[in-house]
A and B are shown apart, each in its own frame.
Chain A
Amino acid sequence: MSLPSTPGRRIFSLGWRHLVYAAIAFVFVLPLWWAIVSSLRPNAEVFADIFPFTAKALLPSPVTFEAYIGIFERGFGAIIANTMLVALVTMAAGLVVNGAAGFAFAMFDFKGKRIVLTAIIISFMLPFEAIALPLYTVTRQLGWLDTVAALVVPSIANGLAVFLFYQFFSQVPRDYAEAARLDGVGWLDILLRIYVPLSLPTCISAALLLFIFQWEAFLWPLLAMPSQQFKVIQVGMAAFQQQYQTIWNQLFAVSVITALIPIALLLPLQRYYVQGLAGAGIKG
């Protein structure tokens, strides 16, 4: 890109570059775009213009909101509210619990710290799927099957979130805490008044992590809620797919809503999310 070049070659290579980027972006955007387009069509028109394929297939020709009205009539409003509740409670509790642990690991030396920290890091490397089946047994022993607690409580403590906070708090110069200690400020005040405000970017990236984790949860809510009285969105969507295979436009409408809520959170906050996770990978 920094080779000496004539203006003509420059424009040519700039054109190539945009072509490559646009082609890749197209592949990433196409499924969601087609889902949005199809969710705005009447059901009979979803597969129009595909055989033979014309560009019209990628535009909603007769626009209608009947699919969106339809899914709310089927109770998807409640499912979205359920998922929001689960995700937001997990997020709030998770910030406190994991933030506190990260702070303790970063600020204090104590016996067995390395071992405990390593155990936490390994616990986040091991995906939730690995323990979902045995976790079902634990939840049954606790008598939590079919309760909201079964969805929320096991997901609050999160190794990756602990690690993000640990990493951030370790970078804060220790002088801050030392100086405050000399002035006789208590640890809790130091945490709440100095460290919490400083850690806002980490809080945002951990919050996104916890929220998206719950929003995307599928296997666990499927197992933990055998009666499916309280449905969350991924499970509701999968059930809808199995039950109403051919109501394409509504299926697309559900998918679009399911995708757009986290995307709406992620795009304005992407800088924090990217920086938070990118930092975790280096040290991990």
Chain B
Amino acid sequence: MTRSRSPVLLIAALLAPALIGLVVFRLYPIALAVSDSFFNVLRGQPVFVGLDNYLSLLADSTFWKSMQVTFWFNLLINPIQIALALGLALLYVQQFRGVTLYRILFLIPIGVSLPTAVIIWRIMLSQDGLVNGVLGIAGIPAQPWLTSEALALYSIIAIATWKGISYWMIFIIGGLQTIAPEIYDAARLDGVRPWQRLVFITIPLLRPTLLFVLVADVSINFLLFAPIFMLTQGGPADSTNVLMYEAYKSGFIFGDMGRAMAIIVVVVAILLVIVGLQFKLLAGREARP
């Protein structure tokens, strides 16, 4: 394939706006977070403190509790979301009369922003809200969904899952469309059962897509902020105090930007390690180009 001589000026002009944007508003902030985490502000003056912000995190029980909450939250929400999104995608691609209506309804949470979903669910989950009302039919007593230490984190998981799975479903649908129908036909002739088809054909062939969804989903959930900010402010008793919220509190409520940036750097570093591990463990030999 012959390519024309590259018109350098044109390439530069086409790329410049996007690249400047990405450098100034993505890469530079990351570098800034790292450098700010080495400073503390004393009487309005930034003072270089080296690794002090990180060292004090090590001895900080609030930070460790928050780390624990973040990990527990992610260990639950990511597998739940991906399994449900896969199930939903399998339903979405079925062909039968009337499926179009269901497909449209499955997409509704994508249009509902997370803050909106949070507001509606908060009222639905209130003491005398719809959820407790419906459970009341079955004789289940009203639960303090968002105000009890035992339930708040799980309620947030449920809300974020409701909001999130339609979006992840879309990517999985794309993956399903790349699987040749002949493979299923052959499997059917060999008498393969539906669940075997799922475990031995669909999921292995979906691996690249599932890996993408896993990485993207973990990245979002590891940094989830809005529901915690709006619903629980980290409470009750720090049971929903994920690291992102702890960082926000540090920087914008207690004015300790050094500590906030140190937490952000730690969070993003952990996230990058997790993402790296996921690629290493799951990408397999045929890996990405």
Contact = CB atoms under 8 A, between A and B. Distances in A.
B25 interface: yes
A93 to B, nearest CB: 8
Interface residues on A, range: 35 or more
Given A129-B223, A219-B225, A262-B111, A98 B88 contact: no
Interface string A228-257: 000000100110010000001001101100
A218 B120 contact: no
Contacts of B271: 130
Contacts, number: 269
B105 A25 contact: yes
Contact of B124 (A34, A133, A177, A188): A34
Contacts of B113: 215-216, 218, 234, 258-259, 262
Contacts of B213: 281
B94 interface: yes
Contacts of A108: 3, 6-7, 11
A250 B74 CA distance: 34
A147 to B, nearest CB: 15
A120 B22 contact: yes
Nearest to B117: A31
B32 A218 contact: no
B19 interface: yes
B174 interface: yes
A17 B99 CA distance: 10
A116 interface: yes
Interface in B238-289: 244, 247-248, 251-252, 257, 260-261, 264, 267-268, 271, 275
B123 interface: yes
B136 A101 contact: no
Main secondary structure, interface of B, reads helix
B162 interface: yes
Contacts of A134: 29-30, 32-33, 36, 261, 264
Contacts of B177: 278
Interface string A59-71: 0000000000000
Nearest to A284: B212
Contact of A278 (B11, B25, B174): B174
A251 B178 CA distance: 43
Nearest to A159: B22
Nearest to A234: B115
A123 B267 CA distance: 16
B3 A138 contact: no
B130 interface: yes
A25 B102 contact: yes
Q: Which of B2, B104, B170 has the most CB of A within 10 A?
A: B170
A40 to B, nearest CB: 14
B52 to A, nearest CB: 19
A34 B86 CA distance: 27
Contact of A267 (B28, B104, B124, B264): B104
Contacts of B264: 130, 133-134
Interface in B173-199: 173-175, 177-178, 188
| Residue of A17, A103, A259 contacting most chain B CB atoms (<10 Å) | A259
26 contacts: A20-B91, A24-B106, A28-B105, A31-B121, A50-B130, A51-B133, A101-B19, A108-B7, A108-B11, A123-B27, A129-B225, A130-B219, A131-B25, A133-B248, A134-B29, A134-B261, A135-B25, A157-B20, A178-B4, A252-B123, A259-B112, A263-B108, A263-B112, A274-B170, A274-B173, A281-B175
